[in-house]
Amino acid sequence: MKKHPLNDKIRQLKSALYSNDGKLPDLQQAVNSLSAVIDAAVFLIGREGAVLFAQAGSVILNDDLNQLVKDGSLAADQGFMQMLKNSYIADNEGHSDNREKGGHYYTLVPLTAGDMQSALLMFYSAQKQLNDDQLTLTELGALLIGLLQRLEKAGKEEEVSRNKKLAEGAFESLSYSEVEAIEEILKNITNNESVVTASKIADNLGITRSVIVNALRKFESAGIIESRSLGMKGTFIRVKNPHALEMIASRSFKSGSYR
């Protein structure tokens, strides 16, 4: 049977990108898989040269590039930035300080055609250039990473929409007194966490402690917060849905419900 090395690599990549449970990988896992299949260091580069994800694999990076990756940005290197700004696609391009024996080469593949400012994949190979099969795999890899980015973005947008609806529903379930209690609790949140004392809030607002307890229970049931008792110290609160905080910041109440 005739062997097709490129097809084998594509199958290897497809296999690596899907786990046994059929779930798609995250972007770091995808970058790791690309690096292993193409046998090159792979970097997902964002706007202004930010290194979003990186995997060197078996490739030994030169000292300068290694430090830039650790710093999380290529912005300090004018040669790289020039490559990023001026190249839609660059195959096996040498760096401006390409003085090492055998050189070090960079292949750049944008994830969005025609958009110079979009994220791109950078493939690094030391001592030798990528061959034609490897270059074909870089294009396929960019296609897969781009699709994963879009799916991830769509998933985040869906989660934001869902969390907003949950926050709205939770507020609408509260009585006017419970709204006051929740507002008092959430406006004192720092880094999505706080410790509250129900008796103090009740005294400050002139409401019963049971109103506060009921309000917290409703928000916890809706997945807005999680809480645990600290005994005499009060109740620890962690906000799981930050959209509730946003609603407090721009609140407008009418007839005991959130509007």
Instruction: Extract the tokens encoding 250.
Output: 């721009």
Q: Which residues pair with 126 in a beta bridge?
A: 104
pLDDT reported for residue 116:
46
How far apart, in whole angstroms, are the C-alpha atoms of residue 31 and residue 5?
21
Residue 253 CB: number of other CB atoms within 10 A?
14
How far apart, in whole angstroms, are the C-alpha atoms of residue 210 and residue 199?
10
pLDDT reported for residue 252:
45
Domains of the chain by residue range:
5-154, 161-258
How far apart, in whole angstroms, are the C-alpha atoms of residue 15 and residue 23?
12
Q: How long is the chain?
A: 259
How far apart, in whole angstroms, are the C-alpha atoms of residue 259 and residue 246?
13
Instruction: Give residue for tokens 């046994």.
Output: 20
Instruction: Extract the tokens encoding 69.
Output: 């990756």
pLDDT reported for residue 44:
92
pLDDT reported for residue 93:
73
pLDDT reported for residue 80:
78
Architecture of domain 161-258: Orthogonal Bundle (1.10)
CATH class label, 5-154: alpha beta
Pairing of strands 225-229, 235-239: antiparallel
Look up residue 43 and give its DSSP letter. E
In tens digits, what is the pLDDT along the chain, a chain of 259 residues?
Answer: 566 788 888 887 777 666 656 677 788 888 998 999 899 999 999 878 899 999 998 888 888 888 988 999 988 888 778 777 765 567 777 665 554 445 778 888 888 755 445 688 889 988 788 898 888 999 888 888 888 888 888 888 888 888 888 888 888 888 888 888 888 888 778 888 889 888 888 888 889 989 988 988 888 888 888 988 888 888 898 988 887 777 776 664 443 444 4
pLDDT in tens, 82-100: 777 765 567 777 665 554 4
How far apart, in whole angstroms, are the C-alpha atoms of residue 182 and residue 38?
54
Contact between residue 112 and residue 40 where contact means Cβ atoms under 8 Å apart: no
pLDDT in tens, 47-61: 788 999 999 988 888
Nearest Cα residue to 79 out of 59, 103, 49: 49
**What is the distance, to the nearest Å, from the Cα of residue 21 to the centroid of all Cα atoms in its chain?**
22
pLDDT reported for residue 87:
55
Three-state secondary-structure class, residue 189: coil
Instruction: Give the predicted TM-score (pTM) of the model.
Output: 0.66
Three-state secondary-structure class, residue 94: strand
Angle at 119 between CA 114 and CA 120, to 5 degrees: 80
